[in-house]
Amino acid sequence: MLNRNMADYSGIAGTAPVLAHPSTFGPTAATALPAGTPVSIDATSGEAVKAQANAAATANCAGLCRFSAAAGDRAVVQYGDVLELTTAQWDAVTGGSGGLTPNARYYVSSATAGLITATPPVSEGTFVSPVGLALSATELLVTFAAPIVL
């Protein structure tokens, strides 16, 4: 099992940890958002919407829903640290079964809004938008990078 002492995440000895504290923010959910859903923030309304790596407006993932949110409710969005959900919750946002694949990197899906995938998009005009690394079937180390257009 991975030791999650924050000192282990330091870039250089004696410096601050490079991972974000499990901070959250809460825009209003435009639609129902299951736990683990990758979200973008709508530039016009400021609402949390399902991220999708097929367009610039939705490929920039702001974080993953920490809890389920009904439409119109506040969406608690986690953008760093480890997000632990049940295998069933991960299955709902991966489209798979058995939870996450340990040691796999996950990306925002270009095919379906609100899903993540262990297979990065490869089609021209889509975006590669990383969201994290699976530590186990139930834990994702949430890490983001700017999306790259293909």
Q: 76, 112, 80: which is closest to 96 by C-alpha? A: 112
Q: 95, 90, 124: which is closest to 109 by C-alpha? A: 95
- Domain of 71 in residue numbering reads as 27-149
pLDDT surpasses 90 at 12: no
Structural domain contains residue 15: no
Residue with the larger pLDDT of the pair 21 and 147: 147
Cα separations in angstroms, 43 against 40, 85, 97, 99:
9, 28, 33, 32
pLDDT surpasses 60 at 23: no
How many domains is the chain partitioned into structurally?
Answer: 1
Structural domain contains residue 37: yes
Query: For residues 33 and 39, is the Cβ–Cβ distance under 8 A?
Result: yes
pLDDT surpasses 90 at 105: yes
Band the pLDDT of 22: cuts 50, 70, 90. very low
Average pLDDT over the chain, rounded to whole? 83
Residue with the larger pLDDT of the pair 126 and 150: 126
Residues 75-94, buried b or exposed e (16+ Cβ, 10 A)? bbbbbbbbbebebebbbbbb
Q: pLDDT exceeding 70 applies to what percent of the chain? A: 83
Query: For residues 36 and 142, is the Cβ–Cβ distance under 8 A?
Result: no
Structural domain contains residue 84: yes
Band the pLDDT of 25: cuts 50, 70, 90. low
pLDDT surpasses 80 at 75: yes
pLDDT surpasses 70 at 17: no
Distance CA 130, CA 116 (A): 9
Structural domain contains residue 1: no
pLDDT at 13: 39
Side chain identity, residue 27? P
Structural domain contains residue 68: yes
pLDDT surpasses 90 at 128: yes
Structural domain contains residue 103: yes
pLDDT surpasses 90 at 6: no
Cα separations in angstroms, 127 against 21, 51, 61, 120:
27, 11, 11, 9
